Structure formats: structure tokens, C-alpha cells
Amino acid sequence: MELSESYYPGDTSSPVLETTVGDVLREAAELTPDAVALVEGIDDAARRRTWTFGELLRDSELVARALASRFGKGERVAVWAPNIPEWVLMEYGCALAGVVLVTVNPAFQAQELAYVLQQSRSAGIFYIPTFRGNSMQTHLDAVLPDLVDLREVVRLDEFDQFIATAPEDQPLPQVTPDDPVQIQYTSGTTGFPKGAFLHHRGITNNGRHIAERLGLEQGGVYINPMPLFHTGGCVVGVLAAVQKQATLVNLETFEPGVLLELIETYGGTHMLAVPTMLIAMMEHPDFGRRELSSLTTVCSGGSTVPADLVRRIEATLGVDLSIIYGQTEASPGLTLIRLDDTDEDKALTLGPPLPQCELKVIDPDTGATVPLGVSGELCARGYLVMLGYFDMPDKTAETIDSEGWLHTGDLVSMDSRGYTTITGRLKDMIIRGAENIYPRELEELLFAHPKVADVAVCGLPDERWGEVVGAFIRDADPASPASDVELHDYMRENLAPHKTPKAWFHVEEFPLTPSGKVQKFAIVENWEKGLYET
């Protein structure tokens, strides 16, 4: 396909199927009931649990009946846990019961948890009491009195008791591809996080299209270190694997040594991992001692992958590397490098769109499609676009226009093949590893500190993480400034660890536009010149 302008009409080589999450599990159980579907990827091999596709369907239907006896179709239920098997059972169980799963980061603190549960009006929460030193039970107890919609609280370490409540005769509702299936929270450039309201058709087809382009086949082994509370884990991992009847080996939490052992033990063939994970894996002391020849394909994304890192990954791991680009609002994949693309394309572009994805690049001011090679805002249309932001019609209208185009907020240029290259971001967003961090949330919190007069939070380039969070502070009283330790502890009391700034800078003034707006790009340029000291 040779394009004449920055508009790609969509590749129709792979169809959009009218499927639900429950449908794809039932099909896998029918086709390969005795094949291994799920492996619990924990450090202690003797304690690892496994499920065949038949067993996974059986247990998921039990979860669905237990859920349906307590929640009505369309009600929201939150899952607050790392990558444990019960998370996957809840993903399938909620889908079969017509219940909308609300994903919650297990690193969240009380304030963040309360916001998600209140905004989604969740009727239930399934959680573990603690994770990596985060006392989730304490946070939940603190916010429960204010959660007027929450009526069911279930601990996932007592999940067997919950499943045992499933009535044998409990009917399950009819679920359609158009029905909502998940709310995934993602912040915009301003204000509080927005819940991307995803539907069955979007996430099932997106997972399948990604699996097809990555060459995942029946009998393959998909290693998943990505968190399930991201679409990178629960769509690109769970729903890609099930639709190819491949084994999903799910790391409970990322640890490079365990990841290497799991690839060797289970013969991992495919994996999605952000650059920071791949670097940690290659630098681990066990790397040279593990047999990794089964691994053929690695997909990466979440932040820009430098050309040198692309070459290093392919040479060191002996794999084909593919780069994925997308966003939660798009279920999530929009473009994906083909395995036979050139090294130059892998290093410099985002590759071609996934099937059935229509793309265009527009002038942000006029809305007109720009010529090839000209930078503009990337817009997408197709089956993969979310239903909208949950209970936020105004925000939805700002993101999805009247013709159904999703405005990504990312600046790209497109070549005559439809391959795109990132040139910048309209959205004021920091990508640390695979985590999207939105400066406004951090700035509002820092503004509330009595010793802070003004603040600008920026993403600073970092070889390992892609970007790290830097906070530039103008002190209320320069003679008595807040210490970096004081500010760090203040942020940690209110936000997840990955959002806490790594670098703190105290400045006398900010570079401003003529209208008085802070020029963050100028701050980063000055930082790169060494003009700021910690």
C-alpha cells in the first residue's frame, strides 16, 4: 500500500471477530482441553500451580457463578493484586458474569485507591492484604467508611471460600461483544485519572491480532512479566495466549532471575517486556548460565527503544524483536513492528498499524491531514477504540471526536507505507519504564506543601528507564527550603513509589512563554546542559 498523504485506511487481512472474553476461553477449552493454559510463575517451583484450558474454564465459570450471585450485569468490581492466578480467574470470571473488572495497581496508597473505587462506583473489591511492604489492608480499612457503593470485600488469599459460595444453578447473563468488560485508569494531561471503558470486541481482537503478528502459535509458551493491571498484561498477555491455545507463564512480580529460570524451565517462546526489564534480565548474573534458546520473539514498548538497545537485545538474546505502540484507550495496540522488518525500521519507527486499525496524522490546530513526513497528532479509528471514559462524557468528547477518531495526543510523522515515527507528545506525560506518570497529579500534591511556592515536574531522559521523574522546586522561603528527604517522604505518603521524583532541583525561576506558561522543554534542555544542581 503506497500512501499519498498521512492517512492509512486499515489493513483488512485479518477480520474483526464478534467475540467476548468468555468466548475465547470456551473455544480454547474445546480445542485443547488438556493443554497447559496457565502456570503460576513464583520463585518456589515446588509450589507452582498450573491449570489446563479445561480446568481454567471450569474454575472461571465457578468464579462467574459466585460473582453473578452477588453482582448484577454491568456492575463494577475492583481487583487489587499482583500477577497471581486468582487475578486471571477474576478476569475470566467477571467477563463470563457480565461484571466490569476495575484494575487497581497494588502499589497504590489510600488516596489513590479511594479515588479509583469512588470514581468507578465499584460494588466490590478483591484484594490481597499486603504486597512488597505496601499495607493494602491498612489503606482499605482507612477508606472503607467513605465508599458508599462498596458492599462486598473479598480477600484473594481466601478465594476458595468465595468460590465455594457459587450456586450450582446460578444462571449467567448473555454477554455481547459490545458490552463493557474493563475499566483501566489512565491520566490525562490535567486533572485526575480517567477510567478507559473497554469492551469485549476491542480487547479480544486486539490480543489476537498482536498474537498473529508476533507469530505465536498453538503449543507456544508466552512468558508474561507485565502487570495484569495494565493492558500489556491482561490483554497482550492473557488474551493473546488463550486465542492461540498457548501456555501463559505469569510472573507474580518482576524479578529477572526468576524470569530467566521460567524461560528455561518452560521453554518460553514469546515475551512482552519493557526495556528496563530486558536490560535487567541481560545484566543478571544468571543470564549466561540459563538455556534460553527456546525464546524466538520478544516484543517491547511502553517507551522509546533506542536503536543501540534494539541491536543489543537481538544479538544478545538471539531473538526477533518487535516494537509495539498503543495506549489503554485503544485496547491497547495500534502499531506493531513486523518480525521481518529491517533493523532501521525496528530502531527508528513504530512499524505498521495492526489489522483493522485506521490511522491518520493531523495538524493539531486545523484538524487537516498532513502531508507524508510532516509531524502532527496521531489519530486512530476502528474496533479497538474504547467506549469512552467511564462517567466522564466531557473528557470522552475531548478524546473521541464526532467521526469516531481517537486523538492520541502523540506527535508522529508517517511515511508512504503507513509506518510512523514518534516526534513528541502533546500530552504532558512521563513514561518511566511502562508506567505512565502524569506531572499534574504530582504538581498538585507538591503545591500543597507549605514550603513549596511553585513546581514543575518533568521527564528526564534515562538510559535504563527511558525517563525518570524530576521535580523542579521554587522554595517559598529560600532561607529555609524543604529538604529533598522531606519532600520525598511527603510524596511517598500519598502516591505509589514509581511516581515519586527521583531527582530534586531547587530553582529561583522557571523559563516562561510570553503568556507566562512554564516551558518544560526548556527546563529539560537546561538540565541536559548541566545548569541545574541537585
CA–CA dist 96, 171 (Å, integer): 11
Average pLDDT over residues 40-60: 98
Residues contacting 228, CB < 8 A, separation 6+ = 82, 83, 87, 88, 91, 103, 234, 237, 238, 250
**Confidence (pLDDT) at 189:** 35
**Confidence (pLDDT) at 187:** 56
Q: How does residue 494 score in pLDDT terms, banded at 50, 70 and 90?
A: confident
Q: What percent of the chain has pLDDT over 70?
A: 97
Q: How does residue 190 score in pLDDT terms, banded at 50, 70 and 90?
A: very low
Cell representation of residue 77: 468490581
CB 192 within 8 A of CB 441: yes
Average pLDDT over residues 133-145: 97
Beta strands 388-389; 376-382: pairing state: unpaired
**Confidence (pLDDT) at 302:** 64
The answer to whether residue 517 scores a pLDDT higher than 70 is no
**Confidence (pLDDT) at 279:** 87
The answer to whether residue 224 scores a pLDDT higher than 50 is yes
298 phi, psi to nearest 5 deg: -125, 130
The answer to whether residue 434 scores a pLDDT higher than 80 is no
The answer to whether residue 3 scores a pLDDT higher than 90 is yes
CA–CA dist 221, 294 (Å, integer): 9
CA–CA dist 501, 329 (Å, integer): 26
| 287-338 confidence digits (pLDDT tens) | 999 999 999 999 998 656 767 788 889 999 999 999 999 999 999 999 999 9
Average pLDDT over residues 75-83: 98
Q: How does residue 510 score in pLDDT terms, banded at 50, 70 and 90?
A: confident
CA–CA dist 378, 359 (Å, integer): 7
**Confidence (pLDDT) at 353:** 97
Ordered by start, the domain boundaries in the chain are 7-414, 430-528
Mean of the per-residue pLDDT values of the chain = 93
**Confidence (pLDDT) at 431:** 79
Residue 79: name the closest of 167, 203, 4, 183 by CA. 183
**Confidence (pLDDT) at 245:** 98
CA–CA dist 364, 377 (Å, integer): 6
The answer to whether residue 49 scores a pLDDT higher than 50 is yes
CB 4 within 8 A of CB 372: yes
The answer to whether residue 516 scores a pLDDT higher than 60 is no
Q: Which residue has the higher pLDDT, 463 or 62?
A: 62
| 353-381 confidence digits (pLDDT tens) | 999 999 999 998 899 999 999 989 999 99
What's the gap between Cα 43 and its chain centre?
A: 24
**Confidence (pLDDT) at 196:** 97
> Which range (40-49, 333-342, 503-512) has the least confidence?
503-512
Q: Which residue has the higher pLDDT, 71 or 375?
A: 71
Bond into 439 cis (ω within 30): no
**Confidence (pLDDT) at 304:** 61
| 158-176 confidence digits (pLDDT tens) | 999 999 999 999 999 999 9
Cell representation of residue 377: 497528532
**Confidence (pLDDT) at 253:** 93
| 227-269 confidence digits (pLDDT tens) | 999 999 999 999 999 999 999 999 999 999 999 999 999 999 9
CA–CA dist 386, 183 (Å, integer): 10
Could you give the C-alpha distances from 460 to 273, 290, 463, in angstroms and in order? 21, 34, 10
**Confidence (pLDDT) at 188:** 41
> Which range (36-40, 48-52, 126-130, 479-483) has the least confidence?
479-483
Q: What is the DSSP string of 149-208?
A: T--EEEEGGGHHHHHTT--TT-------TTSEEEEEEE--SSSS-EEEEEEHHHHHHHHH
Fold type of domain 430-528: GMP Synthetase; Chain A, domain 3 (3.30.300)
**Confidence (pLDDT) at 427:** 67
Q: 7-414 domain in CATH 3.40.50.12780?
A: yes
**Confidence (pLDDT) at 62:** 98
> Which range (178-182, 264-268, 367-371, 479-483) has the least confidence?
479-483
Question: What is the identity of the amino acid at 382?
Answer: G
Tell me, what DSSP letter sits at residue 15?
P
CA–CA dist 300, 303 (Å, integer): 9
**Confidence (pLDDT) at 464:** 85
| 54-68 confidence digits (pLDDT tens) | 999 999 999 999 999
Q: Which residue has the higher pLDDT, 447 or 83?
A: 83
Q: How does residue 103 score in pLDDT terms, banded at 50, 70 and 90?
A: very high
Burial class (CB in 10 A: 0-12, 13-18, 19+), 494: middle
CA–CA dist 51, 59 (Å, integer): 9
**Confidence (pLDDT) at 439:** 81
